[in-house]
Structure 1
Amino acid sequence: MNISATPRFATEPSPGDRVIILGVAESDAHVVANKLIEYELSLSGFRVINLGACTPVEEFVDAFQSHPYADAMVIGSLNGHAYEDLKSIRDAKKDLLISCPIIVGGNLGVTRDQAARTKEELLSIGVDYVLDDAAALPLLLHQLPRRNTVVAPPERGIS
């Protein structure tokens, strides 16, 4: 049995963990899809930090500051207000308060044209990926580079 002499805090990931910060945009109370996505991601091997519904950008920033090793941030929005809710993401990314990839998905508009326009607006403020199919999320997350890899110090030889 290999026991580490260095204690780890409960909020630190294990070396193999892929950590995802999940939440629903500020003006959106649709929590059912959020819980289903959390469940699916957990089954897919991710450690999910779920902020729940009605999450302002400041809470996403705080979550990333508390978990800077997170591999990605996933934000859902089903009410068509994603762009308005997430405008300040641009400043958070510019100021390096969030440096992991940001993925937004959900119902981004009533019409296809509105959804396409919202997708472009989200990409323009620093969202890295916009998904219209939640089933594509686990595959995308597995394809992202790992951010929380632990590099062991080199072994010292005996001189």
Structure 2
Amino acid sequence: MKNDYSPNGRTVILCVAASDSHVVANHLVAYLLRSYGFNVVNLGACTTIADICHALVRWPEAEAVLVGSLNGHARQDLADLPEAKQRGAITCPVIVGGNLSVTVDRGVSEDAALYALGVDYILRDPSTIPAVLDELRAQRDGDSGGCPISSHVEALVDEY
């Protein structure tokens, strides 16, 4: 597999949340996306919102930012996301996945808190990432057939 950056390829920014140094899943997701032909800008572990903003200046063609978290502190690590989105530093979708809470009762309340911060999608299964990115691109290009992206994405995620 060739990992060279293709100027005509689709680009995503991939990272691990600011307080998290777990990178194994990050590398596996990068491998998965590259196998689908994506250009993956992998910022690695302990990535701050400021790091993401700087990457988006360098790669403005990025279709999405994918943030992984294994330590369960995603909400705290993404606290600066609303401000970055408000000032236009992050305009593409933000997708979060992994272990998103340190509590046993993970779910709706934690998801709601992440959505309130400006996370666009929460994915539980990394194998759905390419399909979700395809749906996001279809929506951006106006090919979604009039159906809101949330319906497409929720249907994809619910299948898993």
TM-score band, normalised by shorter chain: 0.7 to 0.9
Q: State yes or no: 1:127 paired with 2:127.
A: no
| 2:21 counterpart (29, 37, 51) | 29
Structure 1's consecutive aligned runs of 4 or more residues displaced over 6 angstroms after TM superposition are: 146-149
Q: How many residues align?
A: 138
The 5 Å alignment of 1:18-97 reads 18-97=10-89
1: distance between equivalents of 2:138 and 2:7?
Answer: 13
More relative contact order in 1 or in 2 (CA 8 Å, sep 6+)? 1
SS in 2 for 1:54: strand
1: distance between equivalents of 2:117 and 2:51?
Answer: 18
Note if contact 1:71-1:148 (Cα within 8 Å) is conserved in structure 2: no
How high is the sequence identity, in percent, across the aligned residues? 44
1: distance between equivalents of 2:21 and 2:95?
Answer: 18
Structure showing the higher helix proportion among its residues: 2
Which has the greater radius of gyration?
1
2: distance between equivalents of 1:65 and 1:27?
Answer: 23
Give the structure-2-normalised TM-score: 0.79
Task: Report the equivalent of 1:14.
Answer: 7
Task: Report the equivalent of 1:141.
Answer: 133
1: distance between equivalents of 2:127 and 2:102?
Answer: 21
2: distance between equivalents of 1:145 and 1:70?
Answer: 11
- Pairwise CA RMSD: 2.2
Query: Which consecutive unaligned segments of at least 5 residues does structure 2 have?
Result: 142-160
2: distance between equivalents of 1:53 and 1:146?
Answer: 30
